[in-house]
Amino acid sequence: MGITREPLTNDRIEYQREIIRGKLDVIAGEVGSKLREAGLNIPVFLTIPRSGNAIVTMATPLDPHEGLWASVAAIVRQVVSERLGSIPLRSRALPCIMATASGTMSAADLAVD
């Protein structure tokens, strides 16, 4: 027996963004606490996109290795998922570079799985 998932509509995505937008400070604090508990001392920025399928975009001014960034993304997905009723989320890497400094930074979108 398969699981049928409701198709994601723009209204549903925006509803989920509104939930996160209203709790963004709390979510950022919780992400920071969980990162510290995991021994991951890495700054993470969260933002809510205005279009597309992503619910949250996360970024860091650092250029962490892939394994570290995957651990950070897992923590952010867990915290955001809990705020949305424990729905499964996925993340995808985004190309990202800083305009005023040499080097890259890491970014990812979180969307419903």
2 within a domain of the structure (yes/no) = no
Residue 5 inside a domain? The answer is no
User: What are 25-69's pLDDT values in tens digits?
Assistant: 999 999 999 999 999 999 999 999 998 889 999 998 888 888 999
Query: Mean of the pLDDT values across residues 83-102?
Result: 80
H/E stretch holding 74 reads helix 66-83
Claim: this prediction has a pTM higher than 0.85 = no
3-state secondary structure of 50: coil
Distance CA(91)–CA(74), nearest Å, equals: 8
Number of domains in the chain: 1
- The CATH code of the domain that includes 101 is 3.30.980
In a domain, 15, yes or no: yes
